[in-house]
Structure 1
């Protein structure tokens, strides 16, 4: 089982769209995938037309019940988000081991969770306690970065915050960190034939943690608006040549991300 969290300090970088499409791609390739929505905006959950206040991810933190794993279709399931997660997050601040509550839940439910090949997590654009909980259980953190000055600032901020989390959340006996996730960056929504995007790509590729560069395409936005993943569009007739080329490139990008 591999656990991957999509995280970004800055909002609007395409994090949920990537989570949705990557999870669907993995399931289409025959992997058993669990999506977890830990964003109180509930965007990933509502992409699947799920609106519920029971059995959400919030119950793991406020002990209000048991989180439910909802089967979406073959090879794909979801633990939905709750709009109350922001208030739940505030209530966690006085709790002991507040960054490891999800870690303990995973340990308690490991026999069920090991049925999944991948757990893919969407987070709110912040570094809140709930986001830290998701990072603490992860093997990898994928952070989308857009071509902008603020994108690079958020990139540096996330690196610093992750290092701080690793240094602070430790086993007091061994002094080893509970947080072992590797941070990887994805250049996203890159415009073609612009100087700023070219400079952005060059700078991103200087960082060994950069694993993918994804160009801007309207078909990506269409996938979440229409609730239709990119992997299902590949077989559609009438696709333009540029969209066919893009979907072929995305297939290779997701293949690399899944390794």
Structure 2
């Protein structure tokens, strides 16, 4: 059964695109899973990262916004390798609010779901990189998701935005009653910093068991991957990747536990 996960926060620059990319990379490499990555951010960071990591041009038949307007969203999909496909980001997605404004009010939240409902069945995991806002495109991403993973830095601004985003998710349940918070992952943490420790405590008190035990510590290697793409054969690659492997494994365990908790029909 397909699992659709949005990677989200109000705040930009917290690592959403990087986490989405690396989780997709690991689901392919370590778990041999079929993955669809969806880039809904007009900045197209996820698409750019995927191009660098896999050294592919990733040019779709149609740009994403055009494919949405034509109701042929599969035309914005490109094959990255045997397991990974990508709905390529498009700066023109800024036009999405004007496009959905033509629809009845309730339907405006479900256009992305409607256009992708058939193709997502081809995958075991669908990972959605969302923009740092709650515009109508983000609403569409959340409305089609099974789970949301909040990505946050250990900074006060990031904590506050995560708190507000959590409230937003509770409000979005009126449009997606099956939506669940998968957890909060703390990103680029300085484990020796006093402020980081205080913010981590704030996260623990607010989100309790929903805070992932696995954290991504601050690392120059992560920055290098952002510039050149993910590598696996240089010094520190293995050590850095282990942090993401542990985080992904914890997420997969959470998903398995959620499946066990669902009663049989």
Return the offset for 1:134: 0.9
Deviation at 1:81, TM superposition (A): 1.4
TM-score w.r.t. structure 1 length? 0.84
Q: 1:189 to 1:198 in 2, by over 3 A?
A: same
More helix by share: 2
Distance 2:102 2:170 in 1: 22
- The TM-score with structure 2 as length reference comes to 0.82
Alpha-carbon distance between aligned partners in 2 of 1:27 and 1:100, rounded to the nearest angstrom: 29
Alignment pair present for 1:227 and 2:225: no
- Secondary structure of the corresponding residue to residue 6 of structure 1: strand
Q: Within 5 Å, which residues of 2 pair with 1:25-64?
A: 25-28=26-29, 29-47=31-49, 48=51, 50=57, 52=59, 54-59=61-66, 61-63=68-70
Aligned twin of 2:109? 99
Instruction: Determine the structure 1 residue equivalent to 2:262.
Output: none
- Quick check: 1:192 aligned with 2:186? no
For the residue of structure 1 that corresponds to 2:20, the secondary structure is helix
Cα deviation, 1:129-188, whole Å, max 9, x if unaligned, reads: 111111111111111111222112101211121112223x2xxxxxxxx34221221111
* 2:132 equivalent to 1:132: no
1:60–1:105 contact (8 Å) kept in structure 2: no
Query: Given that residues 57 and 67 in structure 1 are in contact (C-alpha distance below 8 angstroms), is that contact kept between their aligned partners in structure 2?
Result: no
Q: Match for residue 175 of structure 1?
A: none
Q: Please list every run of 5 or more consecutive structure 2 residues that lacks an aligned counterpart in the other structure.
A: 254-265
Structure 1 unaligned regions, length at least 5: 170-177
What displacement does 1:85 show? 0.7
Paired residues in the alignment total: 239
Q: Which residue of 2 aligns with 1:166?
A: 173
CA RMSD of aligned residues (A): 2.1
Alignment of 1:1-259 (within 5 A): 1-28=2-29, 29-47=31-49, 48=51, 50=57, 52=59, 54-59=61-66, 61-63=68-70, 65-68=72-75, 69-96=77-104, 97-107=107-117, 109=118, 112-167=119-174, 169=175, 178-183=176-181, 184-206=183-205, 207=207, 208-211=209-212, 212-228=214-230, 232-233=231-232, 236=233, 239-240=235-236, 244-259=238-253
Closer/same/farther in 2, CA of residues 189 and 102 from structure 1, 3 Å limit: same
Per-residue CA deviation, residues 203-248 of structure 1 (Å, 9 max, x unaligned), is 22332221242111111121121122xxx51xx25x24xx644432
Shift of the 248–45 alpha-carbon distance from structure 1 to 2, 3 Å rule, reads closer
Query: Displacement, 1:113?
Result: 2.8
Moved more, 83-92 or 47-56: 47-56
